[in-house]
Amino acid sequence: MQNIASVMENNSFGVSPAFWVSLFSQHFTLEQVREGIKLLDRWGFQVLQLEVYHREQLGDWSGDGLYTIMEDLGERGMRISAFVAHFLIHLFTSERSMTDTLPMRDWVALCGKLQALPPTVPLVVPLGALQDGKSFSVSLRDLFIFTLKEYAAVARSFGRTVALEILPGSILSRIFHEHGEIPRELEALDIHLLYDTGHHFIADSSVTDILPWFKGRVAALHLCDNRGTENRSDIPGTGNIDWTFLLEKLDLYGYTGSYDLEILCPPALVETSYRQGRDFIIEKLKERVHHGV
């Protein structure tokens, strides 16, 4: 039984930005984040992810708001595992978007606003689907690497690491499916992965296909489930993902961070859904202890 207790002692559990969206909507405020932190603490979660969902919310992170949130977390022994720049989801969806100068100005501004975050917190850029179903090409690949290099350099100048969230139909998803590999330049640029189980269950032949290409560079998780036919973020254990297999692969490829849940649901179901998802992951981790893994 001591080994079972160690599962709780040696692992932490958190929430993705889907928590804020489910509880408060896409337009959640910093004050609502502070309200949510109290709930998470009461429900026994230790970790959370933050996000700028819409570009017009960038200004919300000016001033002392983030410092106040950091104080709230410190008082409760909680921490942040990732910061998602969702408003940049279209950045890598076309040649035009990659050469637009406005997103870079926003990126620099965001990096400057987040200096209160510990340097271990990665900045996450979600990769939206290529526009108009555009196919991967060598020129688009080269432009993607060039643009990503510029954004990584800016983040690095602020002491920050970049992680990518790979959505179905995005440029990295297309490259992976057409060539069976991830560009080697990403490793050289120290680009990390935010691993969303729902996205990869939809997009890849196996939910864990992408992990070997980011061995030791999985920065954070979005743990969710679906049936493999629709890109949903449902409660782990309610879809068709093989969680025993998935957790084994996460361990094999060097993931040591928190288990953060990504569940989209009505506000009235947030507490029960996130508790249920966490309890399911805990049970799967306990099974691994029982089997001596």
> How sure is the predictor about 288, in pLDDT bands with cuts at 50, 70 and 90?
confident
CATH numbers and ranges of domains, the chain: 2-290 (3.20.20.150)
Q: Kindly report the three-state secondary structure assignment for every residue of 122-178.
A: CEEEEECECHHHCCCCHHHHHHHHHHHHHHHHHHHHCCCCEEEEECCCEHHHHHHHH
Residue 1 — pLDDT band, cuts 50, 70, 90?
very low
How much is the pTM? 0.95
pLDDT of residue 6: 67
- Bridge partners of residue 32, in order along the sequence: none
From CA 127, how far away is CA 174, in angstroms rounded?
11
Tell how strand 79-84 and strand 47-51 pair up. Answer: parallel
Residue with tokens 């993902």: 241
Calculate what percentage of the chain has a pLDDT beyond 90: 86
- The mean predicted confidence, pLDDT, of the chain is 93
Beta bridge partners of 79: 47
pLDDT at 7: 67
Please compute the mean of the pLDDT values over residues 217-231 and round it to a whole number.
Answer: 95
Among the listed residues 80, 75, 72, 74, the one whose alpha carbon sits nearest the alpha carbon of residue 37: 72
**Per-residue pLDDT at 215 exceeds 70:** yes
pLDDT (tens digit per residue) in 69-123: 999 999 999 999 999 999 999 999 999 999 999 999 999 999 999 999 999 999 9
Confidence check: pLDDT of 231 > 70: yes
- For the CA atoms of the chain, what is the radius of gyration? 18
Q: How confident is the model at residue 8 (pLDDT cuts 50, 70, 90)?
A: low
Q: Which two tokens stand for residue 94?
A: 């076309």
**Mean pLDDT on 2-27:** 85
| pLDDT band, residue 10 (cuts 50/70/90) | confident
Q: What is the per-residue pLDDT across 123-174, written as a single tens digit (0 to 9) for each?
A: 999 999 998 655 667 899 999 999 999 999 999 999 999 999 999 999 999 9
